[in-house]
Each structure stands twice: as structure tokens, then as C-alpha cells.
Amino acid sequence: MRTYLYMLLLCSTMVAQNKDCNYTLSGKIIDLHDGSVLPGAVLTIAGLETTVESDINGIYTFSNLCEGVYSIQISHPNCTTQGVKVKVSSNTKRNFKLEHHLEELNTITLQASIYRSKTKTNFEQKITEKQLDRFSNASLGDVLNTLSGVSSLNTGNAVVKPIINGVHSSRIVVMNNGVRMEDQEWGAEHAPSIDVNTIGNITLIKGAGALKYSGDAVGGIIVTEASKIPVKDTIYGKTHVTAATNGRGGSITSTLTKSYVNGWYGSVQGSLKRFGDYEAPDYVLSNTGNFERSLSARIGINRFDYGVEAYYSFFKNEIGILRASHIGGASDQVRAINSGIPLIIRDFTYDINAPKQDVTHHLFKVRGFKNFKNLGKVTLQYDLQQNERLEFDVRRSSNDDDRPSLDLVLNSHTIRLDLDTDNTDLFNLKTGIMAQYQKNIADPATGVRRLIPDYERFNLGIYGVADYSISDHFLVEVGGRFDYFNIDAQKFYKSSFWEDRNYDILFPEIVVEVFNNQLLTNPKLDYSNLSATLGTRYTFNDKYKLFMNYSLASRAPNPSELFSEGLHHSASRIELGDLRFNSEVAHKVSITLQKQGTTFGFSINPYINFINDFMIIEPTEIRQTIRGNFQVWEYRQTNATLAGIDIDASVTFTDYLNFYHQFSMVKGYDNTRDISLIDMPPVNTTNGLVYQNKELKNLRVELQSEYTFRQNEFPNNNFEAFIPETNTFELVDVSTPPDAYHLLHLHSNADFKLGENSMLNVGISVTNIFNTNYRNYLNRLRYYADDLGRNLSINLKITY
């Protein structure tokens, strides 16, 4: 849209110089595959040898042309050059479509290219490949944490779950390479099963606006895409090696890509990350090492108007959970909290023992697309995912240490058909249908009652999103989606719980078989969910944009919310789900004002999210067991309101120096009980000073300050526990958030040319420079240990 504006401006300022030779020929250079604009194309008029280049918006202009027919050669770096003939008899506009093989073309894996947005009226934040380089040995959650409005719910430092605008887990959808990740994301200590090294770029949509992907993203959608592969005869690769002092480990990752000018391509990638126990400033965080392996391969053909790709990825992560966090009842909890330091501190080791998680994720995808001239692009995709989660608890007998306490395998099959009629500038329609079948199997060989039962789930979804440009400045987007879910579970209940909950009166018909002290039931649950989006984008001038979006998201309860029933060791609490839940429905209104500029730019994004039947877990009572007393946490539904604001700003002082600022604040209230919501991210602000010199080996030095305020709004969930050794009752403070903290980090990197086609990028980073002791409110293990101390890491990346 902005391009038209440019064109108008250009045309209107054209000054006639010669009566016969004052015509202009202008237009834009467009990627035939996805309609994105191509900057840097060189157009030469044969005979005249006049040469112009398309600008950042793909616009080119020849002026002072005479009437006649011109032969124009259009070339673009890496591309096959194209010749065209154009008749000029007045000021002429001609857009040229180039088959943009050259640089980065990857229309198969990407529904939207790097230049295109996932939604048109949601403000989107992006992380590019270059920014990702710094996180080669980190997790997806760590990467996302760098964006305003995103924080993370951590379990130690290796399990990092993104929180978007105050919500997490099932309320966030992760689209990995066009595939919705089905990796048991319902669990608060289940991190996304994605290796950051497989990601080319990340887009974050803070809202449910991208209905194409899902209708239940109450918090937002994270879209990761693989790097683009050029359509030319080439072979290239990169190897990334990192080493870090904290955890005394590192990572190595390599990618090799081969492509041909006929469109065929293939790419393989592998990563290995190994860390031992991490360290807080004053002690070793025993049993916090991790060992991550990943492998991925893709092969495909990418042609003018069709393409096919097959993709497979394997991800395995073994993560140690802080040994001191595995505790018995409330009296242990009192000891652990009052101690101030972890109750178990051992010497550094690379060994990972119980408690630990071992997660394996397989993802296979095959996808094909075809462009039909009068219809648009049709894409068909099938994906198969298998997620196996093993959790090892400290068992009573050490003979059982190699036997998991939880063994869940989730198999998902999804098929989707999408139509994208993105062929006019005025009106676009995206529509599609998807079907998914899931089966979860809980292995009974664990000797521990199933946390999540065996179940089958079927999902059918239909969506349509249209956008219409009312004027060059004003665009409206509207969309709707319908999802049907059916869950068929085989759940064992403890007889005592079944009766305590009155389920024996409410659901007598679902009992299949009665055993000694438990019974088998067959809950069959249906949910029909509607979701919708309505938004506008208004462009004031080249610099200012206003995005306004309303989204309606509906989320069916997840297996944990429905079926949980038992002791959760890492939290030292008993967690109870509820079969009677209905879907939660969120209404989110989000406004963003964005200013882009070379010296000063900003975006301000206030939002409010009203969530009806919001499912939350909170303490209800203290339960006596023979193991001691435990706090019981029950899921319940309430009406909640989350409101907040995210701010980004940057100022460029000189060619070499710029400053950036980020600020995020979110408040969450339980309207029914009139209390604050638990686990709301505290207010935080990140500020940085960046020195960058292109002449000096592309040197970049960044000093980053991260300040997290204390969370002052929290529900009081404290309780009293009996302590036998003193024969007294003591307060167990599980609510009070830790103090505010300030961390300083330094990141630097530079490029060194190794040869014609190879480059070495060297990066050195120090995080938590002053080795500050701090605890993070959003770290579930904050009761037991400080967070990470200083870390010095070196990062070498060779591209060849």
C-alpha cells in the first residue's frame, strides 16, 4: 500500500522537460511467487544504457523517456536475467514479476515469505536469523524473552516456557515450519520441543488474529520459519560452535544446503548441546545439566507455480531438574524455603540424574502447493508428530532410578488444505480446512498412576480471513474460524476422589469398571468453538501506522485441566482438574501505534484481554497424607481481565551508536474473587546501547541493562504446616514474590572474511556481569535456589 503512495508522490513531482521526451516509466518489481517486493533489481534500457535500481519498496522509475518501444533488461543479484519490451506513449506504470529464485526463495515451507506478514492488522514482532545466532546454545523461550511483552515461565534455567501478555502453556500456539507443535504444551514445566538452530526467523503475534493457524491462541502465536533456500546451483553451509563458562558446556550445530537451478533442493542440519550443572553466584545448582540433540532434513522442489517439500526433524532433550526442588510434604517445603540456599549442593558434574525430563519429538511433514491463475495458491499439507515425554522422579528405591514416573506418548496427525487468493491488491481471501487426530498413551509400567490418561482427540477446523483495502491508507481485515473438538478418554479415578467430587452422582454413566480402590471411566467430551478477528490498519504517512485489532479466541480445556488428579512432586502439591469445564473465551482488544524512522522509531501497544471461564489453578486446602501435609491446588473457572502495555523505542545518535528501550507491564485480575492473578510477569524494562561499525569488521558491541521490578500484585496462597521437630505450626510462604533485580549484559561480535565464500563471525558475551544474586518470580524453582550467575560465552560461526 505504501508503495502506491510512493508512486503517487513520484509521479506528481515529475517535471516536464521536453515535450516529446518527458514520459516516465515506473512501477514495482514483484516476486512472482509470493507477491513480495524486490529491492535492488537493476533495470537497463537497451540502446540508451540508462540504468535504474529498484528501491527498498521495489519501486523503479525511468524518467525523461520519449514515446516509443523500449527493450528493458531486468536483473537481480543471483537471478536469471529477464528481458521485456514496453511501449511508452504516456507516463506509464508497469509492474514486473520476477521469478525471485535468486536470493531467498522458499515459498514451499513458508506460507508467507520473510517480507510478508502473517496478519495484516496485528502488530507483529520479528526475530531475524542474525539475532538468532546469539542464541545458538539457548532455548526458544530465551530467544522470545528478548521481545517486549514476552516473558517466560521457567523451571530452573533449561525449561523455559514463553509467556505472552501474561498467559502461557495451552494459550500459546507455536507454529514450527507450518506445523502446529503438539508437544504436550499444557504442562507448565514442558518447554517447546524446538531446537533454535533449525529456525530461520521468528514472528510473534500477540493475539489470536492469525486464525489460519488456530482459534485458541488466547495469548498469542509464535511462528518459526526455516531459512530460505535459493533456486540456483549452489552448495553452502554454516557451522556454529559455542562454549560457555556457566554450565561448562557448549553447542555445535551445522547446516549444509544444496540447491539446483531447476528448483530441487535439499538441506540437512544437526545440533548437539551439552551442559553440566549450572551455577548461581554462590553455589552449584546441582543436577541442572542438559543434553540436547537435534537433526533435521528437508528435500523439495520449488518451481514457478508449484512446489513440494518433505521435512523431518528429530529433537531430544534431557534436562536435569534441580535436585533440591524434589521434596516431600509441607515440612520439607518449610525447610527448603527457610534455608535460603538449596538443601542439596553437590560438586559440579555433567551427570543428569533424577529428577529429570527426557523429551523426544519427531516431526514429519509433507507439503505441496500450486498457484492457480484465477484462484490463487492452494496448499495441501500433512504432518505427523510424535512427542514422548519421560519424567524421572526420585524414587523410593534406587533400583528404580532408571524407570520413569511419567511416560506419555502423544501422536498427532494433521492434514490441512489452504487457499490463499492473494492475487489482487484490493481484496484478499485466505481460507482453509484442517483435521487432526491425536492419541495419547500413558505407559502403565511406570508403577505410578497416570497423570494424564489415555485419550483420543479429534479436531476439525474451518477458517476464512479476508482483508480489503478501503484506500491506500486504510485496510480492514475480518476473519472467522470454527473448531470442533472431541475427546474420548480412558481415565482411572481414585474411588475416594470420584465420590469426594460428587462425580458418582454427576457422571455415573461413564464408569466402565470398578476396581479395588479405583475405577475406570470413559469421559467423552465435545467442544464447539468460535473464534473471530476484526482489525484495521491505518497509515498516516510513510512513518506512522496505527493497528487496531479485536480478536475472539475460544480454547477447549486441555488434558491437564480436565484430568489432573494427584501429587506433583516438582511443585510439592496435589493438582486436581475438573471434568465439568467448558471452553474459555477471550476477547482481546489491542492497539498499536508504530513510527518507523531512521533516527527515531517506536511502537506503543496497549491491550486488554477479557477472558471468560478462564481456567486457573489455585490452592484450596491442605491435605493430610501419610507422606505429610500437601497443599491441594484445584483448577477452577473464573472471569479474568488482563491489561497491559508494551513499548519499544530506538534512537540513532550517530552512524555508529544507537540506543533502544523496551518496557512491558501487565496486570491480571480475577474478577470473580476480586484478587490478582498468580504468576503475572512483573514490570520489566530493557535498555541497550549499541555501537556498530561496518568499516571495522562489522564490529558490534552492545551493553544491555535488564531491570525487573518486584511483583507487588499477587494472591496470598500461604498456609501453615505442622513441624514435628519443633511441634509448632509454621507459615509456608509460597506467595511473596522476590525482590526487584538489575542485570547487566555485554554482547559483541565481529566478522572476519576467510575466503571468497566463507566468513567467520566471532561473538563474545557476558551475561550477569556483576554476578548478581537474584530470584525470578516466574521461575518455579525460585523457592529453592538463586538464578544463574555470571556467564561468559564465546560464539564462532563459519559460513561457507
Partner 1 sequence: MKKFKISILTAIAITGLVFTGCSNDDDAPAPVNEEEVITTLTVTLTPTTGGGSVVTLQSRDLDGDGPDAPVITNGTLAANTTYTGTVVFLNETETPAENITTEVEEEDDEHQLFFTTGGGLNVTTDNFNLDGNGNILGTTFNVTTGAASSGSYTVTLRHEPTKPNTGLADAGGETDIEATFQVTVQ
Rounded to the nearest whole angstrom, what is the least distance from the CB of residue 727 to partner 1 in the complex? 3
Are 747 and 688 in contact by the 8 Å Cβ rule? The answer is: no
Rounded to the nearest whole angstrom, what is the least distance from the CB of residue 564 to partner 1 in the complex? 12
**DSSP per-residue letters across 366-390:** EEEEEEETTTEEEEEEEEEEEEEEE
Q: Of 93 and 623, which has the nearer Cβ to partner 1?
A: 623
Q: Of 575 and 613, which has the nearer Cβ to partner 1?
A: 575
For residue 83, give Cα distances in angstroms to 39, 56, 104, 596, 623: 18, 22, 22, 36, 79
Rounded to the nearest whole angstrom, what is the least distance from the CB of residue 367 to partner 1 in the complex? 8
Rounded to the nearest whole angstrom, what is the least distance from the CB of residue 489 to partner 1 in the complex? 10
Q: Interface residues with partner 1 (CB under 8 A)?
A: 301, 306-308, 326-329, 331-332, 343-344, 366, 368, 370, 380-382, 384, 393-398, 405, 411, 413, 415, 437, 439, 442, 444, 446-450, 453-454, 456, 490, 492, 494-497, 500, 512-513, 515-518, 520, 566-567, 574, 623-628, 630, 722, 724-725, 727
The Cα–Cα gap between 634 and 573 comes to 10
H or E element at residue 5? helix 2-12
Rounded to the nearest whole angstrom, what is the least distance from the CB of residue 722 to partner 1 in the complex? 7
Q: Of 345 and 649, which has the nearer Cβ to partner 1?
A: 345
**Amino acid symbol at 563:** F
Rounded to the nearest whole angstrom, what is the least distance from the CB of residue 200 to partner 1 in the complex? 23
The Cα–Cα gap between 621 and 761 comes to 56
Rounded to the nearest whole angstrom, what is the least distance from the CB of residue 494 to partner 1 in the complex? 4
Are 220 and 165 in contact by the 8 Å Cβ rule? The answer is: yes
Q: Of 242 and 381, which has the nearer Cβ to partner 1?
A: 381
Q: Of 195 and 391, which has the nearer Cβ to partner 1?
A: 391
Q: Of 166 and 628, which has the nearer Cβ to partner 1?
A: 628
3-class state of residue 22 by DSSP: coil
Rounded to the nearest whole angstrom, what is the least distance from the CB of residue 406 to partner 1 in the complex? 11
Rounded to the nearest whole angstrom, what is the least distance from the CB of residue 627 to partner 1 in the complex? 6
**Of 59, 38, 56, 28, the residue nearest 102 (C-alpha):** 38
Q: Of 490 and 717, which has the nearer Cβ to partner 1?
A: 490
Rounded to the nearest whole angstrom, what is the least distance from the CB of residue 628 to partner 1 in the complex? 4
DSSP state of 796: E
The Cα–Cα gap between 390 and 406 comes to 5
Are 23 and 65 in contact by the 8 Å Cβ rule? The answer is: yes
Rounded to the nearest whole angstrom, what is the least distance from the CB of residue 565 to partner 1 in the complex? 8
Provide the CA 570 distance to its chain's centre, in angstroms.
25
**DSSP per-residue letters across 618-655:** EEEEEEEETTEEEEEEEEEEEEEEEEEEEEEEEEE-SS
The Cα–Cα gap between 516 and 449 comes to 14
Rounded to the nearest whole angstrom, what is the least distance from the CB of residue 555 to partner 1 in the complex? 25
Q: Of 128 and 338, which has the nearer Cβ to partner 1?
A: 338
**In this structure, what C-alpha cell is assigned to residue 137?**
546454545
**In this structure, what C-alpha cell is assigned to residue 524?**
467423552
Residue with C-alpha cell 522442489?
301
Q: Of 17 and 727, which has the nearer Cβ to partner 1?
A: 727
Are 50 and 64 in contact by the 8 Å Cβ rule? The answer is: no
Pairing mode, strands 657-670 and 68-75: unpaired
Q: Is 538 exposed, middle or buried (0-12, 13-18, 19+ CB in 10 A)?
A: middle
Mind spelling out the 3-state secondary structure of 554-567? EECCCHHHHHCEEE
Q: Please tell me the chain's helix, strand, coil percentages from 3-state DSSP, rounded to the nearest 5.
A: 10, 55, 35
Q: Of 233 and 621, which has the nearer Cβ to partner 1?
A: 621
For residue 132, give Cα distances in angstroms to 154, 197, 226: 20, 8, 12
Rounded to the nearest whole angstrom, what is the least distance from the CB of residue 437 to partner 1 in the complex? 6
Mind spelling out the 3-state secondary structure of 468-502? EECCCCEEEEEEEEEEEEEEEEEEEEEHHHHHHCC
Q: Of 66 and 308, which has the nearer Cβ to partner 1?
A: 308
Rounded to the nearest whole angstrom, what is the least distance from the CB of residue 626 to partner 1 in the complex? 4
Q: Of 400 and 472, which has the nearer Cβ to partner 1?
A: 400
Neighbours of 136 (CB within 10 A): 23
Q: Tell me the H-state helices in 697-740.
A: none
Q: Of 630 and 669, which has the nearer Cβ to partner 1?
A: 630
Are 169 and 220 in contact by the 8 Å Cβ rule? The answer is: no
3-class state of residue 797 by DSSP: strand
Q: Of 568 and 790, which has the nearer Cβ to partner 1?
A: 568
Q: Of 70 and 492, which has the nearer Cβ to partner 1?
A: 492
Rounded to the nearest whole angstrom, what is the least distance from the CB of residue 347 to partner 1 in the complex? 15
